[in-house]
Structure 1
Amino acid sequence: MNMKRVDVAYTLLFDEKTNKILMVLNRNNTWSLPGGAVEVKETLKEAAIREVKEETGYDVTVNDIIAVNEAFINDNHVYFITFQGQVLKSPEEIPAENNILKVEWVDLDEAERLMPYHPEGISKLIKTSGASYTFQK
């Protein structure tokens, strides 16, 4: 069996003032962080920034990687790379995106419940300093 590798870049955006995380409700009715598949000739960082913009309208910057998950999904070997991000500019309105049903700032406790993918919890990811990310030219 030939498995295809797929890289997915996510961005964790945390608002300390409100204790909320920016999340999206996907068309398959699951909540996740904003993110998606890396395109050809695109770095992980570029993908993370582009996906947030496409799905939520927010302009963000990303720095360290705070989590790497992997899974076998159908015939794909999927790597989920989560970056720590900061909002540069909020959108006047959320763009309409086919795969996204809802974009919402979700309370940290609720985010923990909606995203069981991180067994040690989202709160641990917020506190982690992460691993540095470098694109070698």
Structure 2
Amino acid sequence: MQKWFGSSGICVNENGELLMVLQGKPEEDKTWTVPSGGLEKNETFEECCIREINEETGYVAEVVDEIKVKKGIYEEINTSFEVHYFLVNIVDGEMTIQDPDHLIYDVAWKNLNELKKLHLSFPEDRDFLIDHLK
């Protein structure tokens, strides 16, 4: 079984909105998620989180705290995963897609009502994300 490790950034702005990206492979339906991605060689989970936020949104972030670790198995692709979720603050930059993988189609701040209705990449995260907007 393959193993995949990654990080996600949870960023809430002064208006109580969550930073999210619309993503997917060209042939897939596009879905919303928080900025996230896979760990690169010699990179910490915190460094991965900061890099992914910058690549996917244009913002420079700082990690405030680790808030969750999600582990599981995608049986259909014979892969286990471990994703570290970090609470982050934006410290610089401006909203722009810079994704080297060309999998990001939009960046937006989503409010609580929008989050409840969005087509999410990981629907199991909805309640967890809603809790961070309340």
TM bucket (normalised to shorter chain) is 0.7 to 0.9
Residue among 92, 97, 102 paired with 1:95:
97
Instruction: Name the count of aligned residue pairs.
Output: 123
* CA distance in 2: counterparts of 1:112 and 1:65, whole angstroms: 24
Q: Does 1:110 align with 2:114?
A: yes
Query: What residue in structure 1 maps to residue 3 of structure 2?
Result: 5
Which structure shows the bigger proportion of residues in helix conformation?
Answer: 2
| Percent identity over paired residues | 28
Query: What residue in structure 2 maps to residue 134 of structure 1?
Result: none
For structure 1, the residue ranges without an aligned partner over 5 or more in a row are 128-137
Q: Does 1:21 align with 2:28?
A: no
Query: What residue in structure 1 maps to residue 84 of structure 2?
Result: 81
8 Å CA contact 1:12–1:33 kept in 2: the answer is: yes
Q: Does 1:122 align with 2:119?
A: no
Residue-by-residue CA offset, 1:14-71 (whole Å, 9 max, x unaligned): 01x3221000011241211001000110000000000000010000001211122223
RMSD: 1.9
Q: Secondary structure at the match of 2:40?
A: coil
Query: What residue in structure 1 maps to residue 50 of structure 2?
Result: 49
For structure 2, the residue ranges without an aligned partner over 5 or more in a row are none
Q: Secondary structure at the match of 1:70?
A: strand
Runs (4+) of structure 1 exceeding 6 A deviation are none
* CA distance in 1: counterparts of 2:7 and 2:131, whole angstroms: 19
